[in-house]
Amino acid sequence: MRKNGFTLLELILYISIAGVTIGVMVFGLNQIYKINTANNVSSTVNTEANKISDLIKSNVESADTIVLPDNSNLTGDSLTLYFNDQSTKTFNINGDNFQIINSPSNLVQTINIETIIVSDLTFNLINNDNSNYKEGIKFSFTVTYRQSNLAPDSFEYDSELNVTDTVYLNKFTDINQESLYLMEASIKSNPNLSIWLDANDSNLIKDVDNKVSTWTDKSNNNRLVNQPTLANQPVFTNNILNSYPVIRFDGTDDFLSFDGGFLLNTKYDIYIVGARNSDKSNNFWLAGDSINQNENLNIGYFDDTTLRFSQLNNNLDETVDPFANPEFRLFNFSNNLVGKNIEQNGLSIAGNTNTTDLISFNNASIGNFLNTDYLDGDIAEILIFNANLTEYDKSIVLDYLNTKYNIYISNDTNLYMDDSN
């Protein structure tokens, strides 16, 4: 008769089977854990990659101006975005982190979480043949999971994703596929740019009837150009010049005021893209209210056949054809070391040797001469520099305005080119 219980051999056998079973279960659970961990790691990498990609695209789409670090190659490892509120954001890599440097706050934001490494960040300006989107910013970067120091060779932490995407820049394109925003960035970086008024600036302030109370300054100076009185406000008028808008002055009482002190006792270059809408006299784009010599800057049409560049009683006049129809022209009025000069559509049309500077510009305005005569005309853009431009900087301004409005280059003699032709 067999006694109840296990023999020693049976006990050893049962213990061995239980050990193997537990071992298999532990191994299986460990593999399940590792697979789950790998899935979580992969999900984290994808989430962080999408977060960075969406951040780049949304900011690029809302930027006013975009700058790559190397404009000659149109590629680089960082990207700076300028916004209409005068702030900037620079995207780059610092160590293992994707970061944004904000100006003027100097706030530095690290975007990715600590378990993620971001590397190989590049930006490229691209062009394509799509009629709706002429240019884009192509970007790429790599997101890698930072492996645990306890298990550096474990597969569950081995996750890496290479991201390449493009955001197309519909708002910055033009018919010639020129890089307007790169030209804008170069112009804006000029320390002598004193004021920049662009009718296409989305930040100008207008009411539901398109009456303009503030024409926002696009330069880094943020100068105030405004008209608080509704009856005297000019009108934002869309789709006038090469599909771009203009600010329209009615010739009766419309004008905008600004502080013209930055033009005193200095050389300057003034660029205006504008047109007159009648043959009236004293039809000035820029003017003030003084009657003393060199205390009032007058730029525009003195009468039907006279284009005038004057510091009051210090006049440079050029005879022009009588008014027939509104015709936009690109003007440069220069007070320089050898005298005064007027250029029209890139060609010099008048000059003298008077080097006297402006000593006062009281009640400086766009469109108001002596509080009696008002501009009857349109202005698409005004750029004023409180120093003379170099030939290179001048070529950028002219190329920018011509590319945008298609009114400047008409033959090879007034074609401005860069080093790459």
191: left (phi over 0), alpha (psi -120 to 50) or beta: alpha
Provide, for the chain, the percentages of residues in helix, strand and coil under a 3-state DSSP scheme, each rounded to the nearest 5: 20, 35, 40
Helix (H, G, I), strand (E, B) or coil at 41: helix
The H or E element containing residue 27 is: helix 8-62
Token pair of 237, please? 């008028």
Question: Closest by alpha carbon to 387, among 338, 348, 334?
Answer: 334
Interior angle at CA 314, CA 252 and CA 280, nearest 5: 25
| 365-366, strands of its sheet edge to edge | 256-257, 365-366, 283-287, 298-303, 306-310, 315-319
β-bridge mates for residue 374, sequence order: 368
C-beta separation of 348 from 234 below 8 A: no
CA distance 41 to 285: 63
Which residue bears the tokens 């406000």?
A: 233
Mean pLDDT by 10 residues, the chain (421 residues): 62 69 62 66 88 91 69 67 80 92 90 90 70 67 80 69 80 46 80 96 92 95 96 96 94 96 96 96 94 92 96 90 93 95 92 94 94 96 96 88 76 39 39
Question: Closest by alpha carbon to 326, among 367, 284, 377?
Answer: 377
The H or E element containing residue 241 is: strand 235-241
Contacts (Cβ under 8 Å, ≥6 apart) of 256: 212, 215, 225, 226, 227, 234, 365, 366, 367
Token pair of 109, please? 């934001």
CA distance 83 to 63: 5
User: What pLDDT is attached to residue 304?
Assistant: 96
CA distance 220 to 23: 70
Q: Please give the model's pTM, rounded to 2 decimal places.
A: 0.61
Torsion angle of C-alpha atoms 78, 196, 421, 407, degrees rounded to 10:
140
Helix (H, G, I), strand (E, B) or coil at 5: coil
Helix (H, G, I), strand (E, B) or coil at 304: coil
Q: Which long-range contacts (CB under 8 A, 24 or more apart) does 225-234 make?
A: 225/195, 225/197, 225/256, 225/257, 225/258, 225/366, 226/256, 226/257, 226/258, 227/254, 227/255, 227/256, 227/257, 234/367
